[in-house]
Structure 1
Amino acid sequence: MTELPLLLLHAFPLDARMWDPVRVPLAERLRVITPDQRGLGRSPLPETGREPSLDDAARDVLALLDKLAIDRVVLGGCSMGGYLAMAVLRQAPDRVGGLILIDTKATADAPEAAQARLDVANRAEADGVTGWLAEQNLPNLLAGTASPDVVERVRGLIDAQPPSGVGWAARAMRNRPDSLEVLRQNDIPALVIVGEQDAITPLDAANVMVGALPDPTLAVIPDAGHLTPLEAPASVAEAILGWYPIS
């Protein structure tokens, strides 16, 4: 028996560099794959003419697995990456041998949250992202105990994102469906990780997913907010490696 590769999907409005702090300890034991999602980082934003949907981003993930000749992975995602992981699970459950949901939730947006995403998309597309998107998001993304280095790293990642990709991703998240039934239907090992001080998807949201999953493990990361892989990388890596399933 060999361990499945680990594919990690990043949060919004960041790119795959958010995984750098956990990559080294994870890569000592696992094959780790961390793509940029469409329109963010170095990934292009295809012109489809369709309404933004995480279903299209999920097809990107499956196309990457095909390109790499990988049949099954353990699929993980933080925040938006968790939404995308659930979209992949909805489309191709046979490709997912385990699930890691980090600081995310399985429910759809309430109307006020959906409107806030639309406001972000419109402003990013009209004004760009520099000078406001990081300032708007940092207080909720990180715990008050986050180090200045982590704050500046997150700020730099946000400022580097293409406005068109930020707009597309915000609209796609706004359009996503509830995924609780998807979690109930897939009897695979699942690890739910949540920062103790996560203000966006707190422990209550994590517990909802734990209640829906047939085979869950919950890890609460002390003194961390919504971006646990950046705020407490050693604890996140330890949780993943201590749980990790084999193929």
Structure 2
Amino acid sequence: MQTTQPRQQALSSKRDVYWTSADGLNLYAADYGPEDADLTVLCMHGLTRNHKDFEPMIAGLNLPVRFIAVDVRGRGKSDRAASAESYLPPVYVQDMAALIEKLNLDNLVLAGTSMGGLMAMIMAKVMPEKIRGIILNDVGPVVEPAGLQRIAGYAGGNETYRSWVDAAGAIGRTQATVYPDYGTDDWMAFAKRTCIEAYDGSIIFDYDPAIVQGMGATKPDWKTNFAMWRLFGVMKNIPLLIIRGETSDILSDKTARRMHRRHKNSTLLTIPGRGHTPALDEPISLAAIQKFITGLMG
């Protein structure tokens, strides 16, 4: 079972950051740790999550680095887009570039979960000079269609719950195979990170339902896979930590091993008893992340 109460002292320095996208959206990120640190870990969440997804990891690490965890447009405290057409990784990367410029960031470690990992791969191509290392959490050049269909089946975003207990119970039922060791307290903590209380007192998911439009129809062909492997190849000179859930239906074991073979400066870590995605607060995850980031420090 996971520890549901993060060490609050590790998060006590949390600062709010707001910036504006090229198309006028007001976007949000949470900023933790020393602002003058040598390294900044830019944390980018998965499709339906938000910046709070990384707080257990941040609390569990003992590192003198700065962490910036974003709410990608349409999630959390960031504005929702006028059109669902802007809910695409290349647009998200433009938003990240605007944040990096606003805060004048260099020496970045990109930590990307699922969709956030795809963003990291694109960023490695467009701004390699700013990146010291990349952590890919359960994602790679090949995304398994079965996993996409499973996520599309529950990630509609329109569900409402009468109470936090109901929300935690529902999330526990849909995510039970991903986190089989979670108990009641863990699911409540999960719900508190992914949901909010609406004006009428009901509990709703903290994202724009439009972000998941068309997911179930995604069927990458060989041309897409070829382009994604080429994109992955751009990362060859950037140290890489690949994290995979043992039972992931998004990142297959075959793809993860191929990634590790092709990237000569990579480490592959499989998290037992986890599907898509590891929470990154597992002891084995924390130890690997700690070692990886420490190795990048000057």
TM range (shorter): 0.7 to 0.9
Counterpart among 199, 203, 207 of residue 257 in structure 2:
207
- 1:172: how far off? 8.0
Counterpart among 71, 93, 102 of residue 58 in structure 1:
93
- 1:57: how far off? 0.5
Q: Is 1:246–2:297 an aligned residue pair?
A: yes
| Distance in 2, Cα, partners of 1:95 & 1:169 | 30
In structure 2, the partner of 1:29 is 64
| Distance in 2, Cα, partners of 1:36 & 1:148 | 26
| Distance in 2, Cα, partners of 1:45 & 1:4 | 30
Question: Is this contact kept in 2: 1:129–1:163, CA < 8 A?
Answer: no
Residues 66-94 of structure 1 show CA distances to partners (whole Å, capped at 9, x for unaligned) of 11110331101112221222232233222
Greater Cα offset, 95-104 or 54-63? 95-104
Greater per-residue strand proportion: 2
Greater Cα offset, 34-43 or 211-220? 211-220
SS of structure 1 residue aligned to 2:160: coil
Question: Is this contact kept in 2: 1:180–1:212, CA < 8 A?
Answer: no
In structure 2, the partner of 1:129 is 159
Kindly tell me the number of residue pairs found equivalent between the two proteins.
Answer: 238
Question: Is this contact kept in 2: 1:55–1:88, CA < 8 A?
Answer: no
Residues 202-226 of structure 1 show CA distances to partners (whole Å, capped at 9, x for unaligned) of 4333223223324111122233332
| Distance in 1, Cα, partners of 2:276 & 2:160 | 21
Question: Is this contact kept in 2: 1:195–1:228, CA < 8 A?
Answer: yes
Q: Is 1:145–2:195 an aligned residue pair?
A: no
Question: Is this contact kept in 2: 1:75–1:99, CA < 8 A?
Answer: yes
Letter matched to residue 211 of structure 2:
W
TM-score (norm 2): 0.67
Question: Is this contact kept in 2: 1:99–1:190, CA < 8 A?
Answer: yes
Q: Which runs of 5+ in 1 are unaligned?
A: none
| Distance in 1, Cα, partners of 2:102 & 2:70 | 13
Greater Cα offset, 194-203 or 74-83? 194-203
Q: Which runs of 5+ in 2 are unaligned?
A: 1-36, 162-166, 197-204
| Distance in 2, Cα, partners of 1:238 & 1:17 | 20
Identity %: 23
Letter matched to residue 159 of structure 2:
V
Matches for 1:1-247 after TM superposition, within 5 Å: 3-26=38-61, 28-47=63-82, 50=85, 52-108=87-143, 110=145, 123-124=156-157, 128-130=158-160, 134=171, 137-140=174-177, 142-160=178-196, 161-164=205-208, 166-168=209-211, 171=214, 174=218, 178=225, 179-186=228-235, 187-229=237-279, 232=282, 234-244=283-293, 245-246=296-297
| Distance in 1, Cα, partners of 2:219 & 2:107 | 27
Letter matched to residue 175 of structure 2:
L
- 1:40: how far off? 0.7
Larger Rg, first or second structure (1 or 2):
2
- 1:230: how far off? 5.4
